[in-house]
Structures are given as structure tokens and as C-alpha cells.
Amino acid sequence: MTDESPVLRRALFGALVLAIALMLLWLTWRAVAPGGINAAEALILLGVLLVTPWAALSAGNSLVGLTILLASYDPPAAVLPAVHRARPGAPQRLTALAVCIRNEDMAEVLPPLGQLLDGLAAAGAGDRFRLWLLSDTQDPDAAAAEAAAVAAFARQHPRVQYRRRAQNTGFKAGNIMDFLDHHAGEAAFFLTLDADSVMTPRAVLRLVSIMEAEPDLAIVQQLIVGRPATAAFPRLFQFGMRAGMRSWATGQAWWQLDAGPYWGHNAIIRCEPFRRHARLEALSDGSRILSHDMVESVRLQAAGWRVRCLPEEDGSLEANPPAMPEFMRRDERWGAGNMQYWQLLRLPNLTAMGRLQLLQAILLFLGAPLHALILLLAALNGASGGGAETPMGALTLAVLAHWLCYFAPKLSGYAQALIQRRVAARYGGRAAFAKGALAEIAFMQLFEPLSTLNKALFLATLPFGRRAGWAPQNRADRGIAWGDAARLLWPHTLIGLALTFAFATVSLPALLLALPFTLGMVLAIPLCVLSADPQVSNWLRRRRIAATPEELAATA
């Protein structure tokens, strides 16, 4: 897998994805076709046809990624050869560390930045970096406290600058562009960091060296993993997400090559092309683009610049939402932003890969209402007597195949760690890793259908005026009261109960096959409360269940 021909790689990958998709559709047809196709079953088949591309893409990325992870001594370099061409030593050009903040707890934001600056200085590269704290905080009292905290921080660390906008026009994308227009100065590159981002000096210097070695690179996006989490919800969620992103990003980087992703932070960007080509105007209805990062990437690609992914997890972290409500609100914001991409698919001058990336981002969220609709149609069809001749064995096989493809990224990441002793050793060994993997699979099997239903409900109301703005995020661990969970999740619970009852009226096998997809809805309220409960969280931490390498290293 060393040939860098994009046509050949994409043709091979396309053939793999097509083969997986045809297999999934054939298995579904075998399950539904016996006895004839009624109206509900025809709609189910249409829904499966529409969700299959994402499932096949997930499985294809995972298989390619797992192959590279197992076969290559240095997987990141296998998909980004510039890692080997990068020049070691202090950078030659100036890089701005651009941190976007809005109503943040500066006592949490500043210490990791101080460690980064100290580490860069210790490496003899301190004078090649400037830290910019770019504030969109609007509340005067919060802004005053923020400015005071930065001033105290700047007295201990040289080369720190602070700028606050009076209006947060264009949200984060506008914040970055304002910085580039008025404050970047002689910086050749800027490293985008969120308020919860943590990067090590080694990771930052590696990104800069890659940019200096490849003058036609506009963005290098490093893989991002979760910071060590105390609360149960992020601890379990990000354990699987980390494994999945490792295989997904490696496989995707192999065939996307210079048409890579940008995820909005923990990435290094060349200032001049970004300023020239990634400026985002308002949409036709006057609204601003919410999910800006992918749009900025495809515009740079359209202008002839390269965007690459470095699928290396060491030294690049972020904090995930501390509880289920915050996670769902974040998903809604992302979903609202990705649905805006329908308007952007028609933009002139985009490359074919750029349009495919936007379509892929749409499919990521469009699958939620489709999966929910398939489940609803299956319940109604069974309860009304349809599907009486459906062979349960064939149906079970079709459902299992779709499940395996949907979760293929993290299953591939888990397989790599269990096969390669050196990977499992970072998690405390194979037994400890397997314990975390089993806990994550059990939790996410309950939570994923619930999350899918929540996205479906949100997207169903989006065309009727419901909007998700870019509000400040709650990053603090906290418990969830039963009353708060009930007010948020009672619709999900009722829908889960109704679906479970409908499948129960069909047959016991139908109920058992449906339970993995309805049980999490039925248990939505206790799942929300318990996954944020301090006692549950402490129990997981004490037993080091789903502990990450960074957590184990800090407590060694």
C-alpha cells in the first residue's frame, strides 16, 4: 500500500465499499422478500438502501485501516509520507497558537497552555511560537475576569496576546478570520486549539516540521482523542471512539490522500491560503455556516491546496461532553450545521472529492431519521400482521451484518489492540483492555439507539424552524437529577415503550431481535442519571475500567 496514485486507491476502495453495500442489500432482500413485499416493507427496503452507503463506507474505512495498522511498522507515516520528510529541530517559521474561547473557566484553559509553552521553550523553540487567546465572550463581567486571568498568565509566560471581539459575527470561523485579518502578523502557520484542547510540544513541533517540509500543504489535521475523564459517560464513550477513530482515520487517509478532513481544532494551517480561500460568507437565508471546518477544507482543496490527516493519537487531546444532555446538544448543533451542506453542494468549482466529503457529512446525520423510520416501520408492519413469512434467521443475519458494519471502526480498533501486545500494553494489558471494551460496547449498545432517536427527533423538527445555535459548552462534570433527566427524555422513553410493546405483540423472537435497539430508549432516564452519577464514575475509575494510556501514565 505504498503507491500514492489517487485514482487507483479510490477505485480499489470504491470497489470494496460497493461489494460491502451489495452484500448488505442482498442480506436484507433475503430477509424481507419471502411472501411478497407490502408497502411498509418497500419503504423499509428504501430506507435500508439509503443508510447502506454509510454502513459500507464505515466498514471499508475500517478494513483498510486495520490492514495498515497491523501490517505497517509506522502506520501514520504509511498514509502521510511527509512524516519522514519533515526536518527535525527548531522551526524556521513563526507559528501562532490560536485558542478560541467563549465564557470559559480560565483556570481550566490556561494550565495546559502554560505547559505547552514551557515545553516548547525547553525544546529551544519558544521564540518560534506566539499564543493568541481569541475571545468571543460577550458578558462584561465574564470578560473582565477573563482578561484579568490572561494578564496574570502573560506575566509568567512571554509572547502571549489576548483579543476580545465586541460581536461574535460568524461564530468561531469569524473569530479565526478576524485574527488572520488583523492580528496574525508575520506568522506563517497557525495551530487551531479549542478551549479544552491539549497538545504536547512534541506533537506541535511535528506538525510544524511537516508543514515546513511540504510547501503545498494547507492543513494537517492530527487525530484527536479524549482527555482522561472522571465521569462515566465520557469515559465509556471516548474509549470506543478512540479505537474507532484510529482505524477509521487511517483507512480514510489512505484513499483520500490530499483531500483530507479538517475537524476545527488540533490542526495546523497555512495562514495565507486559508485567509484567501476559506472565508465563509452567509448563506442565502442570511444564516451563518455552523459546521465551518469541512467547508474550509473543501474550499482549500478546490483552490489547489493539499489537506492531509495525520492519524497519530499521541499528544493531541480534547475534553468530551461530561454527560448525556451536553452530548445530545452538541450532536444537535453538529447536525444542524451538517444539514446546511445541502445548500453548499451546488457551489461552483468544488472538486468531486470535496462534494463527496460534504455528502458524507450529511449522511452521518441523515442516517439517524432513516434508522428510526426503519425501526418504526418494522414495528408497525409486524404488529399489523405483515412479515409473517419473514424468516427470522435471515432477518437476524441481516441485522447483525448491518450492526457489524456500523460499529466496524471501533471493532477494528479493538481487534488491533488485542492482536498487538504493544498497543494493549498501553492500556494495562489485554485483559484490562478487553474489560474496558466490553463495558463500552454494553453501554453504547444502550446509548447509540437513544442517541439516534434524539438526532432523528431534532432533524425532523429542523425544517419547521427549530435551530441549534453555537452556545457556550458546559465542560464541567456534574450529576443529573432524576427530574431533569425525565423532562429531557420522557418522549424517548415513551417511544421506546411503544416500540417494545409493538414488537412483543408480534412474537418473542421479534421482541428479542428488537430489544438491542429499544431497550436504551426504555431505560433512557436511568441511563442518563447513572452515567453521570459520581458513585458510578468513581467505581469505574477505581477499577480502571476504560482507562486511557494518558490516565494510566498520570497515575503510575
Q: What confidence score (pLDDT) does residue 2 get?
A: 44
Element (H, E) at 296: helix 292-302
Residue of 89, 265, 69, 100 whose CA lies nearest to 178 = 100
pLDDT of residue 388: 80
Residues of the chain with pLDDT under 70: 1-3, 465-477, 556
Q: Domain coordinates of the chain in residue numbers?
A: 6-74+360-555, 76-331
Q: Give the E-state strand segments of 230-360 in sequence order.
A: 267-270, 306-310, 316-318
How are strands ordered across the β-sheet holding 225-226? 198-199, 316-318, 225-226
CB 240 within 8 A of CB 440: yes
Query: 167-188 pLDDT, tens per residue?
Result: 888 889 999 999 999 999 899 9
Tell the burial category of 151 from Cβ atoms under 10 Å away from its Cβ (0-12, 13-18, 19+). exposed
pLDDT at 476: 54
Say if residues 167 and 102 touch (Cβ distance below 8 Å): no
Q: Is 526 exposed, middle or buried (0-12, 13-18, 19+ CB in 10 A)?
A: middle
Backbone region of residue 169 per phi and psi (left: phi > 0; alpha: psi in -120 to 50; beta: other values):
beta
Q: Which three cell numbers stand for residue 464?
A: 419547521
CB-neighbour burial class of residue 152 (10 A; exposed 0-12, middle 13-18, buried 19+): exposed
Give the three cell numbers for residue 30: 433475503
Alpha-carbon distances of 154 from 138, 159, 161, rounded to whole Å: 22, 8, 8
Which stretches does DSSP call E strand in 39-142?
95-101, 129-135
Q: How far apart are CA 293 and CA 272, in angstroms?
A: 17
How many Cβ atoms sit within 10 Å of the Cβ of residue 287? 12
pLDDT for position 19: 98
CATH topology of domain 76-331: Spore Coat Polysaccharide Biosynthesis Protein SpsA; Chain A (3.90.550)
pLDDT at 1 (0 to 100): 40
pLDDT recorded at residue 86: 73
Alpha helical stretches, state H, 86-218: 106-122, 140-156, 171-182, 201-213
Q: Is 60 helix (H, G, I), strand (E, B) or coil?
A: helix
- The whole-number pLDDT of residue 95 equals 97
- Nearest CA-CA partner of 375 in 489, 493, 499: 499
What's the rounded Cα separation, in Å, for the pair 154 and 12? Answer: 52
Coil vs helix vs strand at 388? coil
Is the pTM for the entire model greater than 0.85?
A: yes
Q: What local confidence, expressed as pLDDT, does residue 477 receive? A: 58
What is the structure's pLDDT at 465? 64
